[in-house]
């Protein structure tokens, strides 16, 4: 079995927390503090559930990719995690998807020797509740871990993961010297949560067999098939949301077009009413000039105007006879003579605007 101290390579998996009960020494809000932490299989499952959710959100570009930092300081990434799993002898293990060039150099060059986890913890009973969903940090490379039994990264041997697909993971070295220094992070201890996370409940752990049934997958389906089915559901949901947005946009555009059409029709109706009013005015003016209507007979003028607005053709027929008499021929000197000068029948019978 090859020792990493001999191969000099950064490992594919690291011990995130030693198994069982630990009392970690850390600095919380600038003051030394001690916390009880219980690392078990249920804690590993809760951490994995949170990490899977963070990785899925990152794959969908809804958040930044979770990573490992240096000394719990935001900035340069040391590595990117793949998943958590439980090993009864080694504790909670963290499989590394890839090391950054800086992280690999720090580990293989022995600049940094330990993993310091960042997680949510119940102060009441020491249960590990999961990762901090508001951040991207899963752990950091440090030289003064809060867990005194934390094995050094480069002082462990490669072993086979008990999970179905199998990964190389880390076995703790019994000769590792315990570390008792406090963490340099002053705001939140690596093993303790911020106060506003204390009341959060642990995420539920889904039974994979039940999940297969819900997804309609056969019993022999592996984790990859389950993951692909979940991603397909997410993609279908996003596609449905996109189509709903497109349909809403089309409806909004149609409503806007209908509104514009109504406005155009209203404007044309106003123009038509104004034209009809002008035509009625011209019709009554023509009758006044022809002597059919008396200029001061407002009642008859208004009645004539209203009749024209209601039915122009009927108004023209009603006053045609009177208009003809008013324009009639004069017998003086046997020469025809129009009644008022510049008056014509066309002026009296204004055009139909109906």
Assign 167 a pLDDT band (cuts: 50, 70, 90). very low
Overall average pLDDT of the 130-141 stretch: 90
What H or E segment, with its residue span, contains residue 31? strand 31-39
The least confident of 59-68, 106-115, 168-177 is 168-177
Q: What is the DSSP string of 100-152?
A: -HHHHHHHHTTS--EEEE--EE-TTT-BEEE--TTS-EEEEEESS-SSTTPPP
End-to-end CA distance of the chain: 102
pLDDT tens across 87-99, in order? 999 999 999 999 9
CA–chain centroid gap for 271, Å, is 48
Q: Does residue 7 surpass a pLDDT of 80?
A: no
Q: What is the mean pLDDT of the chain?
A: 76
In this prediction, residues 267-275 reach a mean pLDDT of: 92
Range of lowest pLDDT (39-43, 97-101, 156-160): 156-160
User: H-type helices in the chain, by residue range?
Assistant: 4-7, 41-59, 101-108, 208-215, 223-289, 298-310, 312-327, 345-348
Q: Cα(172)–Cα(151) distance, rounded to whole angstroms?
A: 5
DSSP conformational letter for 221: -
Chain center to CA of 33 = 40
Q: How far is C-alpha 20 from the chain's CA centre?
A: 40
Select the more confidently predicted residue: 30 or 271.
271
| pLDDT for the residue 77 | 94
- Check whether 65 has a pLDDT greater than 70: yes
- In sequence order, the β-bridge partners of residue 96 are 81
With tokens 């249920």, the residue in question is: 42
- Other beta carbons within 10 Å of 178: 9
User: What is the Cα 161 distance to its own chain's centre?
Assistant: 37
Least confident of 42-51, 52-61, 222-231, 244-253: 222-231
pLDDT band of 8, cuts 50, 70, 90: low
Which of 3-12, 40-49, 112-121 is predicted most confidently? 40-49
* Continuous H helices in 10-108: 41-59, 101-108
Residue 93, classed as helix, strand or coil, is strand
pLDDT for the residue 27: 56
**Closest alpha carbon to 159 in 67, 88, 222, 83:** 88
Contact predicate 110/228, CB 8 Å:
no
Closest CA to 238 of 88, 81, 103, 61: 61
pLDDT greater at residue 175 or residue 244:
244
Has residue 309 got a pLDDT over 80? yes
Does the pLDDT at position 19 exceed 80?
yes
The pLDDT assigned to 78 comes to 95
Give the C-alpha separation, 310 to 91, whole Å. 95
Instruction: Kindly report, residue by residue over 310-348, the tens digit of the pLDDT.
Output: 998 888 888 776 655 444 444 344 444 444 444 444 444
**Each residue's pLDDT tens digit, 176-210:** 333 333 333 334 344 444 333 333 344 455 678 88
Closest CA to 324 of 280, 301, 290: 290
pLDDT band at 286, cuts 50/70/90? confident
**Which whole number is the average pLDDT over 164-181?**
34
Determine the pLDDT at residue 1: 31
Give the separation between CA 53 and CA 333, rounded to whole angstroms: 112
CA dihedral 111→52→27→125, nearest 10 degrees, is -140
């Amino acid at each position: 079995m090859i020792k990493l101290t001999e191969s000099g390579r950064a490992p594919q998996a690291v011990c995130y927390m030693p198994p069982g009960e630990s009392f970690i020494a850390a600095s919380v809000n600038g003051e030394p503090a001690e916390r009880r932490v219980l690392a078990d299989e249920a804690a590993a499952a809760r951490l994995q559930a949170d990490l899977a959710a963070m990785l899925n959100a990152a794959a969908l570009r809804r958040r930044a990719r979770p990573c490992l930092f240096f000394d719990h300081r935001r900035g340069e990434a040391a590595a990117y995690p793949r998943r958590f799993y439980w090993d009864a002898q080694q504790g909670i293990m963290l499989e590394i998807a890839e090391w950054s060039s800086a992280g690999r150099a720090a580990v293989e060059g022995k600049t940094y020797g330990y993993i310091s986890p960042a997680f949510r913890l119940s102060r009441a009973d020491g249960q590990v509740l999961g990762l901090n969903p508001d951040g991207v940090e899963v752990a950091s490379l440090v030289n003064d871990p809060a867990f005194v039994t934390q094995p050094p990264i480069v002082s462990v041997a490669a072993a086979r993961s008990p999970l179905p697909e199998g990964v190389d993971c880390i076995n703790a070295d019994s000769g590792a010297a315990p570390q008792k220094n406090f963490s340099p992070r002053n705001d939140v201890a690596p093993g303790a949560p911020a106060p506003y996370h204390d009341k959060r409940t642990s995420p539920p752990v889904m039974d994979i067999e039940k999940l297969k049934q819900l997804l309609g997958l056969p019993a022999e389906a592996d984790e990859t098939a389950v993951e692909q089915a979940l991603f397909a559901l997410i993609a279908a949901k996003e596609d449905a949301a996109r189509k709903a947005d497109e349909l809403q946009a089309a409806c909004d555009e149609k409503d806007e077009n209908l509104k514009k059409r109504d406005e155009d029709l209203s404007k044309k109706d106003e123009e038509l009413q104004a034209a009809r009013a002008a035509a009625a005015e011209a019709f009554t003016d023509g009758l006044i000039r022809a002597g059919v209507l008396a200029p001061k007979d407002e009642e008859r003028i208004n009645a004539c105007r209203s009749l024209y607005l209601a039915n122009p053709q009927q108004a023209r027929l009603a006053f045609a006879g009177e208009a003809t008499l008013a324009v009639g021929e004069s017998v003086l000197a046997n020469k025809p003579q129009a009644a008022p000068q510049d008056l014509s029948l066309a002026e009296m019978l204004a055009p139909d605007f109906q």
